[in-house]
Amino acid sequence: MDKPADALQRLRRVHEDAAVAVLRSAGALSRAELTQRTGLSRTTLFSIISELIERDAVVEVEALPAEPRGRGRPAALIALNPSAGLLIGLDVGRRRVRLAIANVAHEIIATGMADIPAGADAPAQAEAAVRLVRRVGEEHGIRLGALEAIGLGLVGIVDDPSLPASAVPAQHAPVARRLAEEFGVRVAVDNNARLAALAENTWGAARSVGDLVYVRWSVGVGGGFVVGGRLLRGAHGAAGELGHVSLDPEGPPCHCGGRGCLERRIGSQALLEVCAARGIVLTGLDALVAAAQDRVPGVCEVISAAAADLGRILADTVVQLDPERVVVGGEFASLGSLVLDPIREAIDGLALPKIRRRIGVTPADLGVNASAMGAIAFLLNEEPAIPGHLRP
């Protein structure tokens, strides 16, 4: 049975959440307006506001009257403190780490990127992430003492994103633990492609879509599914791993332990090798995409054929999930019709073509920062983003 003190603390937290939610949606309000909108008593509301001010979660701002007033100071309004309750989203990929920082009002106030040396191990990735956070904070004058939590997107299967940094799977532990130690906040971890799906569903090309298939086509191939408005993780954290659907059981081995996986056929390294066999030597993913944007014939043929392979896998997925929209992200999505048309043709021709329905296939809106933004959306979906509520 709960102690009375515990019950009172939970009740106070509910009241705090109500006040913050009203300020988030309505902007700056007077104490009287807050009392009216929250339904709390004047005494309770004033006590809560005093504590939130003390924790820098909210600030007093001077009202700007619409017309001249009489003597006396203008009424003070209460507003969320844009410099408090910072949330960080990090996307640690195979070659780069990307960062987004949001304030308590859910505004993205800074982004950044840093390269990761080829073959870097998890501790080296962690140090790259720490340096990036410090550098962007300094460049933008952001006070990291207001940091409340870090959302971390990583490549591969994340079984239980609710685990604390000290208990995440072994392959992810060095990055999560290093961030938790460096910044003294809770670190929540999930697969970076799934987080990109969440970002597109929150702010991007599939905003508020209830059923979504997202694919991220880049160095590798990942994905994420939104079903009935909820991000699908699966029983073992492997939902959305489109890159590891086998196209050929006798094909080349994949790092996942399978053979002939889609990622082994259309990941950037595989496409670079196909181009090199045709006499077109390119230095990496960026050069490959640039050549396709310049409409180099041999490169366009290779990428179009790869998009058709991806389309066939997506067509099977569409049969199973019946989404409203398919969103294509990653660097290859910037190629527009060269990539999207073969995917649309495969879905239209293979995914129950006799059933009348409309499934939009669109490029992602949020670009390369989608996973980092999704890590922030992940934190916002978990708990209220106000000081004292998110803990390491």
Question: Does 40 reside within a domain?
Answer: yes
Q: Rounded to whole angstroms, how far apart are CA atoms 291 and 272?
A: 11
Confidence label for 73 from pLDDT (cuts 50, 70 and 90): low
Question: Does 144 reside within a domain?
Answer: yes
The whole-number average pLDDT for the span 278-285 is 95
Structure tokens at 242: 């489109």
Question: Does 202 reside within a domain?
Answer: no
pTM exceeds 0.85: no
Residue 373 above 80 pLDDT? Answer: yes
* Confidence (pLDDT) at 336: 95
Distances (CA, A) of 150 to 48, 61, 169, 287: 26, 29, 17, 32
Q: Are residues 231 and 321 in the same domain?
A: yes
**In which residue are the tokens 């043929």 written?**
301
Residue 162 above 50 pLDDT? Answer: yes
Q: Please write the tens of the pLDDT for every residue from 33-69.
A: 999 999 999 999 999 999 888 877 788 887 765 445 4
Element (H, E) at 147: strand 147-154
Residue 105 above 70 pLDDT? Answer: no
* Confidence (pLDDT) at 392: 32
Domain hosting 14: range is 4-80
Closest CA to 248 of 313, 339, 315, 342: 313
Q: Are residues 321 and 226 in the same domain?
A: yes
In CATH, what number is assigned to the domain containing residue 66? Answer: 1.10.10.10
Q: Which positions ≥6 away from 129 have C-beta within 8 Å?
A: 90, 92, 97, 99, 175, 178, 179
* Confidence (pLDDT) at 81: 76
Question: Does 389 reside within a domain?
Answer: no
Q: Are residues 161 and 302 in the same domain?
A: no
* Confidence (pLDDT) at 6: 66
Q: Please write the tens of the pLDDT for every residue from 214-254.
A: 999 999 999 999 999 889 988 888 899 999 999 999 999 99
Q: Are residues 354 and 263 in the same domain?
A: yes
* Confidence (pLDDT) at 321: 93
* Confidence (pLDDT) at 169: 54
Q: Are residues 331 and 298 in the same domain?
A: yes
Q: Please write the tens of the pLDDT for every residue from 323-357.
A: 999 999 999 999 999 999 999 999 999 888 777 77
Q: Rounded to whole angstroms, how far apart are CA atoms 198 and 201?
A: 5
Question: Does 154 reside within a domain?
Answer: yes
> Strand 86-92's sheet: what is its strand order?
108-115, 96-102, 86-92, 147-154, 186-191
How many Å is the Cα radius of gyration of the chain? 24
Q: Rounded to whole angstroms, how far apart are CA atoms 367 and 355?
A: 32
Tell me, letter by letter, the H, E, C secondary structure of 10-56. HHHHHHHHHHHHHHHHHCCECHHHHHHHHCCCHHHHHHHHHHHHHCC
Tell me, letter by letter, the H, E, C secondary structure of 116-138. CCCCCCHHHHHHHHHHHHHHHHH
Mean pLDDT of all residues in the chain? 86
Residue 84 above 70 pLDDT? Answer: no
Q: Are residues 250 and 329 in the same domain?
A: yes
